[in-house]
Amino acid sequence: MNNDMPWVNLTQEEVDDLCKKKYELTEYAKEKLRKLIYEQDMKKMEEAAKNLVLENLTLDEMLEEAERREKSNRVLQRYNDFYNLECAGLPHGTSITPEFQQAITLDCMIAALRCEHLNQEYTHIAIADIEDLIEGLYQQGKDYLERVRTVQEQAQGNTKTDLDAL
């Protein structure tokens, strides 16, 4: 009998078995999500390579574009790290105004760009760096919505539904 929930008529072995099955299912879902994300990333890389070839870029131009994309991805990752760290420091249930959230966002953007420039204090930020970060954030949001749509379709047997239903 389960002492924590007396209304549930399960033995301790049954409770342990359910916990084990929940853990296995969670691990299975994590692995499926990792695989899905990996496949989407590979498709993006293939598409980017095709686009570079279609643009008839020289080798130097391709290397420059690859370096720019790598920098952009690095800044986006740093931004996410700073943002998550700032938000993780807020107590659960903290009421936060949109102004505070915007301030946190801008502060994290500047911190990520400073990191990219070797922590040197500077007063000018290249607009292109900010635009790349914004573009990366939009793409990150689109990718997330696409993953949600894919998982939702798989869960519902490939039926198309509106994302607002989530």
> Is 115 in contact with 78 (CB distance < 8 Å)?
yes
Residue-level pLDDT at 166: 47
Q: Give the Cα separation of 72 and 136 in Å (integer).
A: 7
User: What are the tens digits of pLDDT across the range 45-71?
Assistant: 777 777 766 667 677 887 888 888 888
Q: How far is CA 48 from CA 45, 53, 117, 140, in A?
A: 5, 9, 26, 16
**Does residue 161 surpass a pLDDT of 70?**
no
pTM above 0.85, yes or no: no
Locate the domains of the chain by residue range.
1-56, 57-165
DSSP, residue by residue, 121-137: --S---HHHHHHHHHHH
> Is 108 in contact with 79 (CB distance < 8 Å)?
yes
Residue with tokens 């997330």: 144
